[in-house]
Structure 1
Amino acid sequence: MKIVYIARSIIPSRTANSINVMKMCNTFASLGHDVTLLAPWTKKLEEKGIDNIFEYYGVEENFTLKKVFSPSIKYLKKRIYSLRCLFIVKNIQPDIVYGRDDMFAFYLTQRSDFYTVFEKHEPYHGNDFNDYFFDKFIHYKNDTKMIVNSNELRKMYHNSCAIPLDNILAANNGTNIIPDNQIPEALTKDETRIQVGYVGSLFKGRGIDIIIELARSLPDFDFHIIGGKDKDLDFWKAKVNFSNLIFHGFVQPKETYKYRNMCDILLAPYQSDNEGNRSSKYMSPIKLYEYMSSKKVIICSNFKVVYEALNDDCAVLVDSSDIKAWREALLGLASNKDKRELLAQKAYENFLEHYTWKSRAQKIINFLDNKDD
C-alpha cells in the first residue's frame, strides 16, 4: 500500500511528536508499505549538527522524507504548506493520506478524493483554525475515520463531535524492543546506591519539583534527569545543587534507552493543574512505553488515562502531588528487589503484547483496511 504521511513536526528536533512521526513511518514501511513523509522545511528551528536524520531517531532509512517549503509568515504558512503538500500528494497518487497536526492539508486531500485519515493527540476545543476544518473533514463522509492515542480521547471525540465510535480507533503510543544490557559509556553505575531516573521534558506539568524534593529528602539515592531544553536546565540547575541530583541534559532519542538501563526505578510524576488538566486527562506519553520496555519498575501518577497502560500489578501508582506517597513508594521499592523485578517483568510483558510500534502500526492498518466495510 502506498502511504503519504503529512506532518508539521520539526524534523529533526527534540519533540515527542517528531519521534512518534518518524517511528510510525519507519514501522509502516517495515510492514511492507511504500511510505513518503512530508514535513516542513524549517532550517532555523531544526536541531543543529545532525548529519543523518534517520540515525538521529534510531530508525532504518526505509521510507522517503520530503521537506516541504513552509514560510514563516504567520497567516500564510499553513495554507502554503498545505497546498504544496496537496501538489505532492497528487503526483504520488497514494492509497492513503495519513498524518497529524495540519488539519487544512487533510481537508484539501479529502476534497481531492484521496482516502484521508487524521490522527489526533489533543482534545477538541472547537474554537480554532484546525478545529474548524476538522469539523468539515470528519463530517464530510459518514465513514470518515480518525485515530487517537487513548481511549479517553476516543470517548471525548465521540461525545463532543458526534463521531460514531466505530469510526474512531484508539491506538496508544508505543516504542521498540531495546537491548537491556547497555549503559552510557561515560558513566559508571554505583551498585551500592539506588539509581532513580526520569527521562523527558522539564517544563511545567512534568513534576520536576517532585523529583527535586525526593532528591532532597533521600540523599542516599541518586536521581538522574535526562532531557530538557537548555533554558529549562539552566532554570532548574540555578534552583538546586544536590550532589545526588544529576542533570544529564538532552540525549539523542536513539541513546536514551542506555540511561534507562542504568536505573533501578523510573519516575513519571505527571502533574495536573489549571493549565494542564485537559492534556493530562487524554495523554498517551511515549515515555511510559519506553519505561515498560526497559524492564525497570515504574512509579507513576495515578491519572485515569495511565490505567490504559499500567495498573497496580505492573507499577506503583500514586497521587500526583502527594510527595509523602512518592517517597514511601521509593523507599518500599528500594528495600524490596523481588517486588521491583516482578513489577518490571509484568510491565515488560504487557509492553511486548500491546505497545510496540509494530503492534500499533498493524492495528492502524487493520482498521484502515476495513474502509469499505
Structure 2
Amino acid sequence: MRGLYLHNGPLFSQQANVIQVLHMCDALTSLGLDMTLAAPDDGMKSSSDAQDLALREIGRDSSVDYIPFKRLTVAGYLSNLGCRWGAKTLLTKGIDFDFCITRNLLVVDLLLRRNIPTILEFHHEQTHSVGWLDQCYRWKFLPWLRSENLVKVVTISEALAQVWIEAGVPVGKIQVLHDGVASEDYETVEERAFARNRLGFPEDGHLVVYAGSLYPDREVESVFKLARAYPNAHFLVIGGPKERRLELECEQISLNLDNVTFKGRVPHQNVREYLFAADVILMLWGASVPTIRICSPLKVFESMAAGRVIVGHGFPTIREVLTDGQDALLATPGDYQDLERKLGLALGMSYPNPMAERARTLALEKYTWDRRARMLMDAQTMKKIEAINTSS
C-alpha cells in the first residue's frame, strides 16, 4: 500500500516536528507500507538529501521516497497557505497514493476532493497564530473534517483532542496518540560510567542533564539557580539555538558558576549518549511556551527510555504520561522551590532505581514510534482506507 506523508515544514530545519516526521515515516515503512515524504523544497532537493538528513538525525535511512514541492510565502509569512499551493501543484501531477497523512488542515480538502483517504494530525490548537486568520481557516476548512473520505483526526494529547472537539471535530473521528521514542535506540541502557568516559566526563560525582531548546520560554535559567543550590553536582545543558547558548554562557560567566557546561545542539540520534551519562534528567518548560497546554514533547519519552530519574515541570499534558512520585518527580509549574526540592530528592537516590525503571518500562511498552504507527494504521483504519479506494 502506497502512502504519502504531506508535511508543511522544511526538512532542513532542526525543529522537533522534523524529527517526529522522520521517525513516523521510518515506523510506517517498517509496517510494510511504501511511504513517500513530500515537503517544501527549502534547501532539500532530492531523496538522497532526505536520506542523509535521516541518517544524521535519527541514525537510520528507511529508504522513504522524497518529493519536494514549492512553497509560496508573503515576506516569509503565510507558510501553511503557501504549502496549499505547492501541494495542489504536486497533486495535479497525478501521482497515485492509497492514503495520505498530513499535519496541515489547509490541504485536507485538496486530498478529499480527489477521494484520497486522509489522516489529519493536529499538533497545535490553532491553524495560525493570528486570531482572525485562525478563525477564517477554521470556517473554511473544518467542515471538510466531516467528509467520509477523512479516515480520522489524530491529536498528540488528550488536552488537544478536547480543543478540537470543542471546535467541532466529530468525537468519533478523533484518536489520541502521544509522540514516542525509537525503542531500538534504547534497547540497552548504557552504564553511566561507560557513557561518561566516552564523553569525557568524570565517572564520579552527580551529573544533571538537560536536553532541549534554550529559548527563553523554557526557563533554562533555572539551571543557574539549581547549580548554586547543589554545587557538588554538575549541570550539562544540551541544545540550541547557538545565539541563545552564547547568551546563557555569558550569564554563567557573570555568575561565576563552574559547575555548568553548555554543549550546544547535537544530532538527535546522539542525545541518548548524554542521557545515559546522567544521574538525573531535567525537563524544563515555562508557562509561556505556546504549546504547553497541548504538547507531547519528544524529550519526555526519550528521557523515560534512558532509565534515569526524571525531574521536571508537571504541566497537565506531561501528567497525561508521567505520575509524580511513581515514574518521575514533577514540580509544580512556576514554583522554583518545588523544582529545587524535587531535584534534591533525585540526587539522593541510587541505582538501580525503581522509579527510573518504571518510567523506562512505560516508555518501551506504550510510547514507541513502532507502536504509534501500528495504532495509527490499525485494522479498522486499513479497512476504511480500502473501502474508500474501492468505492472511488
Structure 1 counterpart SS, 2:27: helix
Tell me if the contact between 1:85 and 1:105 (Cα under 8 Å) persists in the aligned partners. Answer: no
Question: Could you tell me how far apart the structure 1 residues matched to 2:342 and 2:90 are?
Answer: 49
Amino acid at match of 1:327: E
Deviation at 1:82, TM superposition (A): 2.0
Q: Does residue 1:270 correspond to 2:276, yes or no?
A: no
1:240-255 correspondence to structure 2 within 5 Å: 240-241=252-253, 242-255=257-270
Provide the residue aligned with 2:178 in structure 1: 172
Map Cα deviations across residues 210-251 of structure 1 (whole Å, 9 max, x no partner).
Answer: 122111222111101101111111221121222111100010
Deviation at 1:106, TM superposition (A): 2.2
Q: Does residue 1:152 correspond to 2:154, yes or no?
A: no
Map Cα deviations across residues 100-145 of structure 1 (whole Å, 9 max, x no partner).
Answer: 1x33322211112111111111014674265344313213449652
Provide the residue aligned with 2:62 in structure 1: 61
Tell me if the contact between 1:174 and 1:360 (Cα under 8 Å) persists in the aligned partners. Answer: yes
Question: Could you tell me how far apart the structure 1 residues matched to 2:148 and 2:140 are?
Answer: 14
Q: Structure 1 pair 68/52, CA: closer, same or farther in 2 (3 Å)?
A: same
1:276-355 correspondence to structure 2 within 5 Å: 276=289, 279-312=291-324, 313-338=326-351, 341-355=353-367
Tell me if the contact between 2:328 and 2:356 (Cα under 8 Å) persists in the aligned partners. Answer: yes
Question: Could you tell me how far apart the structure 1 residues matched to 2:209 and 2:118 are?
Answer: 40
Question: Could you tell me how far apart the structure 2 residues matched to 1:330 and 1:262 are?
Answer: 17
Provide the residue aligned with 1:123 in structure 2: 125
Amino acid at match of 2:179: N
Tell me if the contact between 1:138 and 1:144 (Cα under 8 Å) persists in the aligned partners. Answer: no
Question: Could you tell me how far apart the structure 2 residues matched to 1:51 and 1:32 are?
Answer: 18
Tell me if the contact between 2:27 and 2:369 (Cα under 8 Å) persists in the aligned partners. Answer: yes
Structure 2 counterpart SS, 1:369: helix
Amino acid at match of 1:175: V
Amino acid at match of 1:155: Q
Tell me if the contact between 2:51 and 2:63 (Cα under 8 Å) persists in the aligned partners. Answer: no
Deviation at 1:73, TM superposition (A): 4.5
Deviation at 1:40, TM superposition (A): 0.8
Q: Structure 1 pair 194/316, CA: closer, same or farther in 2 (3 Å)?
A: same
Tell me if the contact between 2:197 and 2:203 (Cα under 8 Å) persists in the aligned partners. Answer: no
1:71-150 correspondence to structure 2 within 5 Å: 71-74=72-75, 77-88=82-93, 90-91=94-95, 93-100=96-103, 102-124=104-126, 127-128=132-133, 130-141=137-148, 145-150=152-157
Question: Could you tell me how far apart the structure 1 residues matched to 2:21 and 2:132 are?
Answer: 26
Amino acid at match of 2:157: S
Tell me if the contact between 1:9 and 1:40 (Cα under 8 Å) persists in the aligned partners. Answer: yes
Question: Could you tell me how far apart the structure 2 residues matched to 1:370 and 1:305 are?
Answer: 31
Q: Structure 1 pair 134/211, CA: closer, same or farther in 2 (3 Å)?
A: farther
Question: Could you tell me how far apart the structure 2 residues matched to 1:192 and 1:115 are?
Answer: 55
Map Cα deviations across residues 270-315 of structure 1 (whole Å, 9 max, x no partner).
Answer: 1113xx3x62111110110010111111112111111221002100
Map Cα deviations across residues 335-356 of structure 1 (whole Å, 9 max, x no partner).
Answer: 2215x71111000110111100
Deviation at 1:207, TM superposition (A): 2.3
Question: Could you tell me how far apart the structure 2 residues matched to 1:166 and 1:50 are?
Answer: 35
Comparing 235-244 with 76-85, greater Cα deviation is found at 76-85
Structure 1 counterpart SS, 2:40: strand
In structure 2, list runs of 5 or more residues that go unmatched.
none
Question: Could you tell me how far apart the structure 2 residues matched to 1:259 and 1:167 are?
Answer: 40
Map Cα deviations across residues 20-75 of structure 1 (whole Å, 9 max, x no partner).
Answer: 00110011001100000001111299xxx998222112232331122222245556
Question: Could you tell me how far apart the structure 1 residues matched to 2:369 and 2:56 are?
Answer: 17
Comparing 14-23 with 190-199, greater Cα deviation is found at 190-199
In structure 1, list runs of 5 or more residues that go unmatched.
none
Structure 2 counterpart SS, 1:39: strand
Provide the residue aligned with 2:228 in structure 1: 216
Question: Could you tell me how far apart the structure 2 residues matched to 1:184 and 1:61 are?
Answer: 30
Amino acid at match of 2:287: S
Amino acid at match of 1:150: S
Q: Structure 1 pair 235/327, CA: closer, same or farther in 2 (3 Å)?
A: same
- RMSD of aligned C-alpha atoms? 2.5
Question: Could you tell me how far apart the structure 2 residues matched to 1:13 and 1:50 are?
Answer: 12
TM-score by length of 2: 0.85
Question: Could you tell me how far apart the structure 1 residues matched to 2:108 and 2:61 are?
Answer: 27
Provide the residue aligned with 1:2 in structure 2: 2
Tell me if the contact between 2:118 and 2:149 (Cα under 8 Å) persists in the aligned partners. Answer: no
Structure 1 runs of 4+ with >3 Å offset: 71-77, 124-127, 129-134, 139-144, 182-186
Provide the residue aligned with 1:356 in structure 2: 368
Tell me if the contact between 1:269 and 1:320 (Cα under 8 Å) persists in the aligned partners. Answer: no
Provide the residue aligned with 1:13 in structure 2: 13
Amino acid at match of 1:321: G
Provide the residue aligned with 2:271 in structure 1: 256
- Counting aligned pairs with the same residue, the percent is 23
